[in-house]
Amino acid sequence: TRGEASARRVLLKLSGETFGGGAIGLAPDVVQRVAAEIAVAVRDGVQVAVVTGGGNFFRGAELSSRGLDRARADYMGMLGTVMNALALQDFLEQAGVDTRVQTAITMGQVAEPYVPLRAIRHMEKGRVVIFGAGAGMPYFSTDTVAVQRALETHCQEVLMGKNGVDGVYTADPRTDPTAVRLDHVTYSDALLQGLSVVDSTAFSLCKDNDVRMRVFGMSDLGNVTRALQGEKIGTLVSA
């Protein structure tokens, strides 16, 4: 086989904001809740891969504006995503779900290296695969990596869990009271209108490769399970 899934297989992107509960460091209670919600979908037969963000520790762009070399700062950012991956792994295992962490920067004592065919096998066996260290390359975001990993491991959908917004809006709802949430938007429109809830590189990678994305809010209890199971929450972004 070429690894195409007959079962539902999806990639969930969790931002650093989720892991930190909006602060710096780790919010174990939040990670535990998210793990429990993932566990429900896995028991239902959904194959799940996760890409972790790292903004709760470091963002390369921010550090470089304060004097660090950009590439080195980005590596610091990537290492932060690995800590989040390990935290999620721990709570998933506590919830009885088998997991593997694969990192784009090799660290043998901590995780497997990123091997896409192996990641697919893990998912077929019911293991959640957590991808850490982004793409292993500076100047990338974990949103973009989420799309790349989804493509390479043949996930049918990219699920972007967001904090503070529950989908794609016509404008930034935090500053523009006339903003309305869209049920559906095309990648072209999202890019043209500069709807930046997901970064433009991620949108264009999806557009060029015709993969669906769902942007949804993390704050409502149960939303992670709903998104993983394919409920039509938030905003569908497609070609």
* Number of shown-chain residues binding ligand UDP (CB under 6 A): 21
53 is a contact residue toward ligand UDP (CB under 6 A): yes
How far from 90 is each of 87, 96, 97, 231, 237, CA to CA, in Å? 5, 10, 10, 27, 32
Shortest Å, Cβ 124 to ligand UDP: 26
* Measured distance between the N- and C-terminal CA atoms of the chain, rounded to whole angstroms: 27
What gap in Å lies between CA 211 and CA 205, rounded to an integer? Answer: 9
132 is a contact residue toward ligand UDP (CB under 6 A): no
Q: Which residues contact 208 (CB under 8 A, 6 or more apart)?
A: none
Q: Which is nearer to ligand UDP, 84 or 235 (CB)?
A: 84
Q: Which residues contact 115 (CB under 8 A, 6 or more apart)?
A: 102
Q: Which of residues 161-200 bind ligand UDP (CB under 6 A)?
A: none
Q: Which residues of 146-162 are buried (b: 16+ CB within 10 A; e: fewer)?
A: bbbbbbebbbbbbbbbb
How far from 114 is each of 79, 97, 111, 172, 180, CA to CA, in Å? 15, 20, 9, 35, 39
Region from 33-41, 119-127, 133-141, 172-180 binding ligand UDP, contact rule CB under 6 A = 133-141
Structure tokens at 81: 């995503």
Residue from 40, 137, 171, 191 that binds ligand UDP (CB under 6 A)?
Answer: 137
Residue from 99, 141, 153, 235 that binds ligand UDP (CB under 6 A)?
Answer: 141
- Contact letters for ligand UDP, residues 1-40 (x by CB under 6 A): --------------xxx-----------------------
- Contact letters for ligand UDP, residues 82-121 (x by CB under 6 A): ----------------------------------------
Contacts with ligand UDP, residue ranges (CB under 6 A):
15-17, 53-55, 59-60, 74, 77-78, 80-81, 134-135, 137-138, 140-142, 145
